Structure 1
């Protein structure tokens, strides 16, 4: 392959070298190794011996590994670790656009920091920091909004380490920033803590500053040209500004696999180049000059649209294609793709880990190689229809592994949605929207006329998207695949396509019917085996539960709140206990603090984690009570994941949040079950839930209850010979009431949870309570619960406290922790350990935590 397509092979080998250095770092890898390998390749390549190509391939991988590792060696901070949480003074330059959203302004800063007169990184040079400014007054929005890239800034704030992933498979913000060469956060309270002055003189950053202003100008024009409800959508599609995109609209597009429409990509570049060439030919420029001018203008377009990896890739490929056309060279799509990839990876090796980069290049390569092959296999004579179907199907098949790797979902309506809507966007919405925006910059009314027509077309598209995305039955959830599975997928898929093409070619050459010719069974053996293997791969990945042994209890870190995922050992039934929630305190007049897409635990953390773990259905959701930090995240769960039944405490806490939750449950046909003491719920023949609280209610109607803690659902779980106690936010009064009911009431089996029954009476002494292996400590370790009598009755071996880092409530309370430790109870805390997972097999519990030590 190095002989026939050296650039393509070089791109693949260079990528392999980066990956090898990332997963298997070695201290001896450095830039000198990379340069030495490059020199050896130059010398050996002239020998033209067959073995030389294999040696050069290995050397190229080694050279790439050395180059990547050198990048890693220099991507470090010179700020001492002990400076974390210090108050510091920083001086430097704003090097990114300033984003103002509600009560937060954020930007990247490059400069020096000092604490107590000591400069942290003077010898190492300036360093990058992510700055988050907490705006205290509404007037500060305008102040922060006036800051620009290139401004000189001095500020005071708190230095913090970016948080690492707190859950297994969770988003690692620290690693995300590290790949942008940022190692610290600066937390600033109020714009008054910053002194900003415009830059003096001239530097390269002025170009980016002017580009930011130009993009803002285009954004303002878009707001005037397009309907107010669609300006965010059109800004995302045309100039890559996603800040004002409606989050719900974006989710609908994402569910249907249409998010690529909202990203600036090759289609935008093609339209831009076509418009430029048409204009230049109309003003009388020659073909050669038109091509050269387009090449010169493409970098400006890349900057104006945000320079995301997908647009950079498309722009570089466009310039390569324009140059090839100018020089009348034979165009090779694969060479163009690989040259663009190599240039980007040499510029910044961390592009390799960017989702946009991966999808953009993978789909482009897949279309170049796969569409002609699929066209030969499809029995469709109409060229335009066949091409459209081939492009859509091949895009779906090629992007599928990465789609489930990063998003864990696939709508079966995605193919139909792409076939129906992509042509409308590419041939109507995008070209007409571009024309409307360009005209609107010089003639607002004229652009508005075209923008109005585009808006009407978009209205119809949004109706179709909303209708298709509402088909919950077509939405499939896939667990995160392994790297091995992804490699096998592409290998088997390639064998399937090549086998089908070969068998089709043999059939068309009429070699089969001839007596004594090749056996037709053998002819189709490869594609049939590949097809069966392909189906087995998909089935095995989708239904991973059949390969898992034992039960699981996962205490998910949702910050200041509770969320526990239970999987039973026999039937793999799934039970979610609470869903965490984002607690916000807003006074009248604080509406300006609301953000365009506020952080919500259920949608941003819990649901993605459940999907990653292959939770395609929840058999039961137990809402212990209706406080926001326990039930707030369940709204997103009910909307995104099928749920069979919702168990709750039989009360209603007045408020829009809880009312909306129950309304959603009814709309989704989720069975609502009010549980109380004396009931039990068998999940499989080795797992049973025994409900202990609240006490049985003679009145079956739903009661109004504002104070929910002492109405928490409390239950004991028996799983494969182990005992667990889940307590919600119960407090001292509820503990005493439950202890007073006696061991008989606790040990007695009740009726199934679907029926309401009175709690059995009992008065056995507390000494007869079953010993508990794991206690979920009530109310995040508050001093109002987990009394000494409670611990003495249950005698837990281990305890789990779910609390948020640096929470304002001071949870867990030192007295509670002391009580647990004095009794020799092993204590696990989500605020220090992150997620806590427990594996149950044959009466044994194995523990693992995300963090062994507090960060």
Structure 2
């Protein structure tokens, strides 16, 4: 084994992966300890076969170590929760200390509290052993922002509020906040209102780990404030803060989204590039003072931990900083110059410190890309030499190619998008930012502390350069064709990708270095005469490239031949969002949810920098994860915020072929912006009206049942939208689905009156243009007006779903899209009872989370997210 540390680190990670795949086993720490003792004994006694046995034992030790740590990650309140059945949602008072800085955003302050005791309203108190609690404090007035900004890490606090367990993911593939907090050893949330609920006592100044972190928080705040003065605009300051000190609170969310789509987020994350520039600047400065090489290395070693802390200590900066420290120590002592060994030591140390790092995207990308650059850049550069003779261009191409190929599977796994021109963005912008903007930013910050006018002058120059960079990214982002959406790949697909890449590299190298053609594989068989089968390296390379292309084709649309339609009722809270996938891979989205806000004049201070928005935070990520490359139909049943609010983000990020709406406009800024975006993207706007069946694919069609008018030629204004909701009847693979928006009793009566007056053949299958079978099952046209699934109108409100409506449609199942613990009291018990009495199975998103229904030969199969857990 030439690199035993590297191999050991890989096996350690393998043990972690196995531990995550297997449920936690009792006594796993004993198993790990026993295997560790066996490993030590093997090498102490120098037993035969110890090397292969050591490999197996190392995997087992890692398995036990991970599960032991995971089993210990439980709440100190677990036993109390068993005693107090109503602990979740209880009003309590916690006493403890701040373990994080206080973040203030609009009318909310958030921080982490380490609780040492808990007291209920009846004064019953329980001691705790340092329970980590995530706190959200709603501020009552603007002056309270200054009060909470004065709280510091380590201060003692007594705080009253409502204790809750974090919510799990409510949609398949959605963000799981409970899991996220657990990976940070936090199991409870506390919500409080007003600073009068908190009694804070400043901590005494003393030398300790908390004191060091407290000092570091103050330094980061001072640097942030200084950059606000140095750089000319808020967007500039936020951009430079992210790049220089890893402070992302002030980073423009739209700019971050843009950099993410172009594959440039590594610029905004402190990593090895920043460490290299920082060390280069420090070494250049120290050399001006004529210091010796050993002294310069020693100073750099001591400065790196400070730099890691000041820049936020994310996994990527910890990795880069520790690797640099080990490399500097090795350079000073003259030993162990193998960079792969250094990387493996750092990775192993970080995984021992916190096994959950293995699940962190920053950790994964940082080490993967670093590994690729160490192993692949020089070799790839040699292979590119015949095509790119210029050294600088060749090295830039090699770095860009290797980093893009290595990071691609992990990037699409977490972010589900990839820009085909990200290589150009990286090749052009990364050298400018790393060689000019970052060093100049450091200089401006340092000089700004000594003499502010000079720092501001440099900051102004950087601002002009940044504006040019932003113009380039704006221009690159305008090329919508080059943005691709990828569904979340399986781990098997990712493993196949990397194996295929290794094969291509080995064969490419074989072809490039072969002096004359020779067979790579030969096969001889004698049956009376000699037969020979030969595969040359070039042929094998072409086959590998073809396999790689096929792998990408499968990964881009793995369900393209999945001939089962599905309807997915997404849980967007108090709103509607329904995703339909047809048997021929067409996608329809009905409504997009939305967040209803109630603002008053003079409350601008309450606005958050990056508020939660259903479309951007929930809907669009889900569409991307499910591989929705485009929406063939986007239907807005009506323009109330709880149905339309999330569609702005959809219109901005997902290609749309056609947009169907109710033919009216509601006077609101959100609707104006949505329609403006659709027009700018040249999306056809179709006002809904009565008409013939609209065929989506050979087994799917839709019919508009309301509004009761032919397609209007003029768009009118309407402030009240519920009664104007578009009502759609969907037929797919022999099943019927009725989508009703927020229609009301009067609208239902109009629809019933219209349908009763229509001839029976209104339900008949349309004839195909060439007279052939259109593919629709006859079962959907011979069961009268009975439907399989009804989307209940207006979240189950008593303003709709009358007895006559239920009797007419006779739904086998009914879905109510409604927010958990909503303030409207939806759904109405009368409506739920009416549906159940009519024989319908009732599904509710407030209780079940997302509801997915798939059609197969046996009928409609359903599954729900919360029950699936």
Common fold: TM-score over 0.5: yes
- Trace 1:682-693 onto structure 2 (pairs within 5 A): 682-693=695-706
2:595 aligns with one of 582, 589, 603: 582
Counterpart among 258, 267, 283 of residue 277 in structure 1 = 283
What's the TM-score once normalised by structure 2's chain length? 0.93
> Match for residue 196 of structure 2?
192
Q: Is 1:327 the counterpart of 2:333 in the alignment?
A: yes
Structure-2 residue corresponding to 1:77: 75
CA deviations on 1:575-610 (whole Å, 9 max, x unpaired) are 100011111110111111111011111111101100
Separation in structure 1 between the aligned mates of residue 157 and residue 684 of structure 2, nearest angstrom: 57
- C-alpha displacement of 1:783: 1.1
Structure 1 residue 43 displacement after superposition: 2.2
598 and 393 in structure 1: CA distance in 2 versus 1, 3 angstrom threshold? same
Q: 223, 228, 247: which one pairs with 1:223?
A: 228
Q: Report whether the alignment pairs 1:409 with 2:417.
A: yes
**Aligned partner of residue 545 in structure 1, secondary structure:** coil
Cα distance change, pair 709–377 in 1 and its aligned pair in 2 (3 A): same
| 2:432 is aligned with 1:428 | no
**Which secondary structure state, in structure 1, belongs to the residue aligned with residue 96 of structure 2?**
strand
Does structure 1 residue 621 correspond to structure 2 residue 621?
Answer: no
Identify unmatched segments of 5+ residues in structure 2: 523-531, 767-781
The C-alpha deviation readout for 1:395-431, integer Å capped at 9, x for no partner, is 0000000010011111111011101100001110011
Take 1:120 and 1:166, find their aligned partners in 2: how far apart are those partners? Answer: 33
**Hey, what does 2:540 align to over in structure 1?**
526
2:165 is aligned with 1:161: yes
Please state how far the C-alpha of 1:526 moved relative to its aligned partner. 3.1
Q: How many Å apart are 1:714 and its aligned residue?
A: 0.4
Displacement of 1:97 in angstroms is 0.9
Question: Structure 1 residues 482 and 29, CA, compared in 2 at 3 Å: closer, same or farther?
Answer: farther
Kindly indicate whether the alpha-carbon contact (under 8 Å) linking 2:795 and 2:817 is maintained by their aligned counterparts in 1.
yes
Larger mean Cα displacement after TM superposition, 52-61 or 777-786: 52-61
Instruction: Out of 822-831 and 422-431, give the one that drifted further.
Output: 822-831
Question: Structure 1 residues 26, 242: closer, same or farther in 2, change over 3 A?
Answer: closer
Verify the 8 A CA contact 2:632 2:657 in the aligned structure 1: yes
Task: Tell me by how many angstroms 1:778 deviates.
Answer: 0.3
Q: Does 1:151 pair with 2:155?
A: yes
Q: Describe how 1:659-808 pairs up with structure 2 within 5 A.
A: 659-696=672-709, 700-745=713-758, 748=762, 770-808=785-823
> Could you tell me how far apart the structure 1 residues matched to 2:595 and 2:193 are?
21
The answer to whether residue 484 in structure 2 is matched with residue 479 in structure 1 is no
Shift of residue 383, structure 1, vs aligned partner: 1.5
What pairs with 1:556-635 in structure 2 (closer than 5 Å)? 556-569=570-583, 571-635=584-648
Q: Distance in 1 between matches of 2:122 and 2:785?
A: 60
CA distance in 1, matches of 2:249, 2:123: 38
Equivalent positions of 1:350-499 (< 5 A) are 350-378=356-384, 379=386, 380-499=388-507
Q: Give 1:502-541 correspondences, 5 Å limit.
A: 502-507=510-515, 510=516, 521-541=535-555
Shift of 1:88: 0.3
CA distance in 1, matches of 2:211, 2:822: 42
Q: Aligned partners of 1:474, 1:267: CA distance in 2, in Å?
A: 27
RMSD: 2.1
> Is 2:137 the partner of 1:133?
yes
Q: State the TM-score, normalized to the length of structure 1.
A: 0.94
- Does the Cα contact within 8 Å between 2:665 and 2:718 map onto a contact in 1? yes
Residues 1:261 and 2:276 aligned together = no
1:293 aligns with 2:299: yes
- CA 1:352 to 1:294, structure 2 compared with 1: closer, same or farther past 3 Å? same
Q: Is the 8 A contact 2:575 2:795 kept in 1?
A: yes
1:601-655 CA distance string (max 9 Å, x none): 1111101100110100111001000001101111111110110100011111111
Gaps of 5+ in 1: 753-766
Contact 2:245-2:270 within 8 A present in 1 as well = yes
CA displacement at 1:573 relative to structure 2? 1.3
Deviation at 1:547, TM superposition (A): 3.0
- The number of aligned residues is 831
Q: 2:425 and 2:205 mapped to 1: Cα distance?
A: 52
Is the 2:594–2:615 contact (alpha carbons within 8 Å) kept by the matching residues of 1?
A: yes
Change (3 A) 1:50 1:436: farther
Secondary structure at the counterpart of residue 736 of structure 2: strand
User: Who is 2:527 aligned against?
Assistant: none
Q: Secondary structure at the match of 1:89?
A: strand
- Closer/same/farther in 2, CA of residues 710 and 558 from structure 1, 3 Å limit: same
On the 8 A contact 2:230/2:444 being kept in 1, the answer is: yes
SS of the residue 2:866 aligns to = coil
**Cα contact 1:225–1:437 (8 A) shared by 2:** yes
Deviation at 1:276, TM superposition (A): 2.1
Q: Deviations over 1:308-355 (max 9, x none)?
A: 000000000010100010011241111111111111111111111111
Q: Distance in 2 between matches of 1:119 and 1:383?
A: 73
Per-residue deviation, residues 374-401 of structure 1 (Å, max 9, x unmatched): 1121022221111111001100000000
